[in-house]
Structure 1
Amino acid sequence: MATIIGRAHPLVGVVHLHEKGDRFQEALAVLKRLPVRRYDPATRQWLFPAYLLPRVKERLAELSVDYVESDFPLCGLRRPDVLEREDLKEYQRKGARFLAEAPHGVLLADEMGLGKTVQAILACEAFDADLLVFAPAFLLEKWRQEVERWTGRRVLVFPDEVVSVEAEAVLVSYGQASAGDKGWEAVRRMTLEWRAQRRDRSLCVVFDEVQYLKNRRSRRFKNVLQLVREIEKEAKAPVKRMGLSGTPITRGRPDELLAILEVLGLVDERGNAYSALIRELIFRHLTVWEYNRFAGREVAVGLRPGRDLREFCGLFTLRRTMEEVAGELPDLVRRVVPLPLDEEAFAAVLRKLMRDRRTDDEAEALVEEGLGVHLTTERRALEASKAEHLKEYLRMLAEGGARRIGVFVWHRDVLKEVRKFLEGEGVFRGWRKAFVDGSTSPRARESLVGSLAGSGDPVALAATVGAVNVGMDLDWLEHAVVTGFDWSPATFVQFEGRFRRISSKRSVCVHYLVGKRVELRVLDVLLRKVKALDESFGGFERQARVLAALRRR
């Protein structure tokens, strides 16, 4: 029997040694020196992370061990002509081909603005499959428009529209999966009914903004995964899973990585030998553990940056940056504006807010970040105390000739102040204005922002960051004024991505109004997390450089 080497699983390499072959003991020693490995006596195979395969092959070749290679074949494209459209860029063809040909679940982690939605749609077309999309509610309308534009398919949004056997695409919001049992049961029943009518057709399941499923204990995660598994169980044709996210790991924690692997179908919840090896790799080799005196035990601090983590994520991830695919794209201009804050005004606002109600979840999250339980309240007070400086800064931009201004805040009470100012200040008289927060419906957001983007008049957009942070193109602005930072790298990267798209024709100047108190601490946390993201998936060097430069200022 020959020695066999290859992949027994998308993430797991395997070697079956011929025990009577030459150099058996030397080859066995090579495997035993691997940092993570397991021997399966049932199959008499050695299992190890697949990213170590090149090293293992190299060592066996040095020992002159003859072996036979085994690997997964790529999926054939049933409609390769789809990827030859003249209106596609070369990187879009490569991304769509990566998604369509992968024989297992994969993650497209392109930087914001490179069109992950279009690439997923074209991959589905090339694979000639139906499309099931899970996405945040405010992105469903954009998905409908893109699917209809690129494919002409009939699209349904569950549970708002009735089941039809003619529908080739179905959209479901993550919010539905988080809803009560009755609401989700209706969506689940409709989706299964749709698939029962079309079970002979292949299916692509797309998890857009896959970081929304990072909590494996959440109702959303459990409901979505259970539904997908039910569909796969009853299917008579292949079901392909695809994840999309520019920031798949938002907090740099091992449980987030494990959640992504389970969503993509690369880790089995039942815990077979392959899944057990992957869990061991993540939690023992790729995680930093430190003793926590409050917990009285070691706790996971985060993923361990390094070559092993990047190579492991590279087994299932494709990521490209703006620089790699569009060097001619104008970069953002960033300005950090330190504010001379009124300490008494800040203290007065802080005292008032400290008397307000805070949630247990908020406090728990803050403690976990190591920032202190009062930091969110302190940041809110800091932003409120910036209000007068913010108004003066907006007045200065308008008087200086700016004609397309966006102002982005973190809290709605500050947005109310900004709205009152823009509607009453003389320099903004005659300007077209729009105001967007979390209560604005997705369709209304698109309409309001679109009306400003296409206007020839001076325009001002005022919004909370959360309301425009995903799915909005804001590269039509000249100036974007932001009242600080958030400690989530996903928020920072996504937000800056709103101003820099593949179709951008101009450079946007982003003005960060910074109060030295809390924001320096937030920047430190943000920089650490972005560096961890870069080590995990690559392609975040620019954001790390930007944050380091902002911190120095």
Structure 2
Amino acid sequence: MAQRAQRQSGARRGPARTQRRTRHRDNTGIIPVLAQAVREVEAAVKRGAARPSIRTKFQAVALLVREERARLKADPSLSEARRGEELKRLEGIATILAVTAARDSTLLALLADDAVVSPDARELRREMLTDAGYEVPEEEPEPEQVETVVELRRVVPRSVISRQMSNPFLEPAYDAVRKPPPRPRRLAGWELIEPLLRSFEYGGEAACMTLPEVPATQVRPGLELMPHQAQVVASAAEGHRTFLLADEPGLGKTAQALLAAQAADAYPLIVVVPNVVKTNWAREAELWTPAHRATVIHGDGEDVDAFADIFVVNYEILDRHVGWLGSLGLNARGLVVDEAHFIKNKKSQRSQHVLHLSEQLRSRPGEPLLMALTGTPLINDIEDFTAIWQFLGWIDEEKPLGDLMEALEDTGLVPSDRGFYAAARQAVIECGIVRRRKIDVAADLPARRVADVFVELDDDAGRSIRDAERALARRLVTRYERALETKYGENVHEGIDHDLVRQVAVWETARTSETKSEDNVFTMMRRIGTAKGGAAADYAAQLARNVGKVVFFAKHIDVMDEAEALFEHRGIRYASIRGDQTPTARQRNIDAFTTDPEVSVAVCSLTAAGVGINLQVASNLVLAELSWTDAEQTQAIDRVHRIGQPEPVTAWRIIAAQTLDTRIAELIGSKAGLAARALDGSDEEVVTDVQLEMLIALLTDALSKAPATV
């Protein structure tokens, strides 16, 4: 998914170019030139390691594939059929690039958006454009000019213009007079940023600000905020406005941020997140703060609800929307950045856009709510703190700001004094660092929980899956209507015949076992699992960096292969536990995961590793694909949640939104505990056919809708 997003982003766009000679349509333009070049690269890599000239050609092709894809999508003169044909040809080239990079992993770095483009690659790119019949200007944009190109790609959705026009005059904030910046006294002339960073290398007490002591809080019926979560919300209600919320994963940072925004009345609220969790944020907002509408920004934002209170946008498209999100017309009063370690490189575009938004909000009267959420505030070294501190307004490029500078002055110390570092560390912490571990708040947590993470399949694979689901629904409806006519003849039957619905589902189940249909529930669930495999692996990689060891469960080999390729590319060591291994190899991999601190992830087959092994060295696991029974899911969780497990266990279940995945997750959840209820405490399993129940639900939903939508 991440690589596809990179190909589509068009972050490095070339200069304008015009075609100067006419050829046959299929041999016109850049695609034939790219096809020939990528075949040469593929052949060279098959023969051995990529030479420098091959690496140059690989990078030039990758750049032009991105540019051409962006051009095709934006060209209004193309018909949809023609655009689809060209994009399909381009996708074939991109596939060869990906397969070639998998063969020589050193090429993967050249596919990254922030990869440094060599002068040779730039020159070869020019030559390819010339060979394709394009006029290329002599002067190319320098790297620093790329920002200007990105600026020109910014969009303002029509609904946002409507919001701005509906409220052209903003009410002055009479109660929020900005305090003048403090003037350094004792510390004037001292270099302070480096000592502040170094103060965190000396250790000390837990890095957690002073928080109010509050009990568990009833948010609304059936929904309770645990004490450690309620503390942050209470602090926001008391007026604190900047937080580095660095709780370990599984401690409910999303709920804390949403409720803190509600307590601070920090609306409109902008939430910047990785693409993999943006749908999940909207769902959490509906759960925890239902009175405040959330809208998720996709693409150019054509369907954004500009009158919402919460705007959720992912890092990958922030460049297009940073202008209107930070404008005075929206007048945002809160900004939350999830997985804030993503902005640690201040030279990256996403970091610069986030810092720009923060600066815009802080430049206005009043104090905005600024929250950086991450389980890993430090990735490589102590300097990773600086971008987050700057986002929160605690420092700028040269010195501490505002309350932090006042707190340092109040210590009465300078960096040469013996107690300065301990006092400086505490001053930074009190600005808003909140760090709790699972083990510290275990009394507040259930011993085991399943957390659903929703991901969107908004690419070609996702559209194909949804088309297949609609085709299956149409087939079921057609069969139901024929059966209805046979049963009742010309008599009119009011409502849905649920007995007949079940019979049609039974017939479809039998058909599935007898034929190799491409659109039955089993095949579609496999396609969904494959389509979301990259997002699941990305989530597991984030967890591995945040909390250490993680178990990754998948049903199918291709999903495991994709996950392992991603971990290898990111330098994350893993152990593979599969059904085709010898007992010796299997145990060797289990031992590597349980005893070697450098092995962060166990990639497990759900069927092969779901029973009989002990992986309690981890307390987090990712279920990349859904099981057909709650028992199979529970068995996988029990590899981690076992006697002797010292920490609460969280199973992160990855679910594809707006597909059968969501309905099947609900069905599996509804069957959990059915055996105990049905048999008065007996632990004997009651067999339920989730596939049959899925078909019944699908057909019932289709019959409940207008015929035109089926």
* Shorter-normalised TM range: 0.3 to 0.5
Asked which structure has the greater CA Rg, the reply is 2
- Provide the TM-score with structure 2 as the length reference: 0.34
Higher strand share: 1
Higher helix share: 2
The higher-RCO structure (CA 8 Å, 6+ apart) is 1
